Structure 1
Amino acid sequence: MAFTRATGKHRAPSRSHILTRKGAQAAGVAALAGGGVIGSLASPALAADAELPYAAPDMADTGLNQAVTTDLIAERVGAQARAQGREADEDAALAEAQAKAEAESIRKAEARLKAAREAKERANREAERKRLNSFQAPVAGSYVSTSYHAGGGMWSSGSHTGIDFHAASGTQVVAVGAGTVVEAGWGGAYGNNVVIRMNDGTYTQYGHLSQLSVSVGQSVLPGQQIGLAGSTGNSSGPHLHFEARSGEGYGSDIDPVSYLRSHGVNV
């Protein structure tokens, strides 16, 4: 019995038909390549791949690598920016600390200078106070040639009311301490004389002067010249007659040696 092959839609495609279809596909790819869409990718390998039902996409084709790289760059830039920000903050903090340290150093230096100036001023004031309150001998480098209360006919009171310092004519005579001149001129037996009211309320007198250097009402300091030694008035020769008094008038005399020594003068 003879069998015939079934016809219609269930007929299996022949090999020649499959080859024809593949050829058409290859031709289509070639046509796309010729149109510039795919270009040099049209090759036998690509034609072979067309038979695969699915081909995994290349990572570069999806843009994932680019996104990852961008994120990494952004993170690195951010980290660098944060690091630079921290360094800037640290630099600013260091600069501020240095500025504060320098300001503190300057403040301390100024305080030391101020303290030194004040200490020097106090020392100068104290030295001036001591100088103003100091006493010295009326004739430098001299000695007492006639003592206090020495007797003799040369004195109207019968005794010496002061002490005499050895001094050649023209020798400088100075105030023994600070005070104000209350008499300057001729004083009878005292010749040319100066009387000073001392700052402590006592009085000193300088007699037989050859020349006066001060006037009444003038303030004098310790060691300031008031005249020159001589032999004016009731005098037997050039010398300085010096008296210390508790009051301005004659007869209030006190021991001149004790007076000077009580003020630190060695006579």
Structure 2
Amino acid sequence: MGFTRATGKHRRPSRLTRTTAQVAGVAAITTTGVVGGLAAPALAADTAIAPHDGLTQAVAIGDSLAEKIDAQATAQQKAAAQAKAEAEAKKKAEEAKRKAEAEAKKRAAEKAEKEREAKERAAREAERKRLNSFVSPISGSYVSTAYQAGSGLWSSGSHTGIDFHASSGTSVHAVGRGTVVEAGWGGAYGNNVVIKMNDGTYTQYGHMSSIGVSVGQDVTPGQQIGLSGATGNVTGPHLHFEARTGADYGSDIDPVAYLRQHGVNV
């Protein structure tokens, strides 16, 4: 058709060329409303073309439409780019939030683990101290008969231990950690328990009304081993307590000094 020309490989068609191509074949609108055909021979001529009102109007409409389309495309591209940027920013923000939450959770877990370990260490240390501690064989009692007190009541002529004031049925405790080596009838001692302590010494508990442990059993400080009573050679209910260097009778040592050496004041 007329007005068309080669644009070249890298040359964009002029606005007139693009617009003319868009309206090619469309009838030019005359001022009287009559459609006039465009004569191909006239358009093919290289000579100047006289302005035509209908063609000018079509070119103007085409230019306006092309500009609107270009503007719309540009706006859509900008909107798409902005949406993409916003999506990427949102994704990065969410990822940063997830990382922060994961890090906070990790720190909280590590803190909880450290606190748990600290509590366990404290509990172990407390238990270790408890197991290495000593207590009185009768809680809240007092010594009613001293060590080595003289009397014809004892075959040796003197008291080989100390007596704790206690009514029948009072709880008797192991003074420290050890292993029961004797539990049963002990002659003049009545129902008695002998414990080999962890430090190699021995403790004896006599005249009990009942025994709650057996030979070979490990005991801990404060553990109940029986109930006080008045069995054996006694004049009334009480607890006879001895401290010894060996398991046999006659190896007794001062029970008060023994208990005080281990932190128990009597």
Q: Is the 8 A contact 1:139 1:165 kept in 2?
A: yes
Structure exhibiting the larger radius of gyration computed from Cα positions: 1
Query: Corresponding residue for 2:208?
Result: 209
The one-letter code sitting in structure 2 at the alignment partner of 1:121 is: E
Unaligned 5+ segments in structure 1 are: 1-36, 47-52
The one-letter code sitting in structure 2 at the alignment partner of 1:154 is: L
* Offset, 1:200: 2.3
SS of the aligned residue for 1:41 comes to coil
The one-letter code sitting in structure 1 at the alignment partner of 2:125 is: E
User: Larger deviation: 245-254 or 93-102?
Assistant: 245-254
* Offset, 1:236: 2.4
* Offset, 1:99: 0.7
Counterparts in 2 of 1:141-152, with a 5 A limit?
141-152=140-151
CA distance in 1, matches of 2:58, 2:102: 62
CA distance in 1, matches of 2:187, 2:211: 15
Q: Is the 8 A contact 1:59 1:65 kept in 2?
A: no
* Offset, 1:134: 2.1
> Identity percentage over the alignment?
62
Query: Corresponding residue for 1:20?
Result: none
Query: Corresponding residue for 1:262?
Result: 261
Relative to structure 1, is the Cα distance of residues 77 and 234 closer, same or farther in structure 2, using a 3 angstrom cutoff? Answer: same
Relative to structure 1, is the Cα distance of residues 145 and 65 closer, same or farther in structure 2, using a 3 angstrom cutoff? Answer: same
Aligned length: 224
Deviations 1:199-245 (CA, angstroms, capped at 9, x unpaired): 22221000111221211111222222212222222222221110011
Q: Is the 8 A contact 2:28 2:58 kept in 1?
A: no
Query: Corresponding residue for 1:55?
Result: 51
2:172 aligned with 1:160, yes or no?
no
SS of the aligned residue for 1:185 comes to strand
CA distance in 2, matches of 1:40, 1:186: 139
Deviations 1:86-124 (CA, angstroms, capped at 9, x unpaired): 111110111011111111111122122222222222222
Query: Corresponding residue for 1:220?
Result: 219
Counterparts in 2 of 1:237-252, with a 5 A limit?
237-252=236-251
SS of the aligned residue for 1:131 comes to helix
With structure 1 as the length reference, what TM-score do the two structures score?
A: 0.76
* Offset, 1:67: 2.8
* Offset, 1:59: 6.0
Relative to structure 1, is the Cα distance of residues 39 and 237 closer, same or farther in structure 2, using a 3 angstrom cutoff? Answer: closer
With structure 2 as the length reference, what TM-score do the two structures score?
A: 0.76
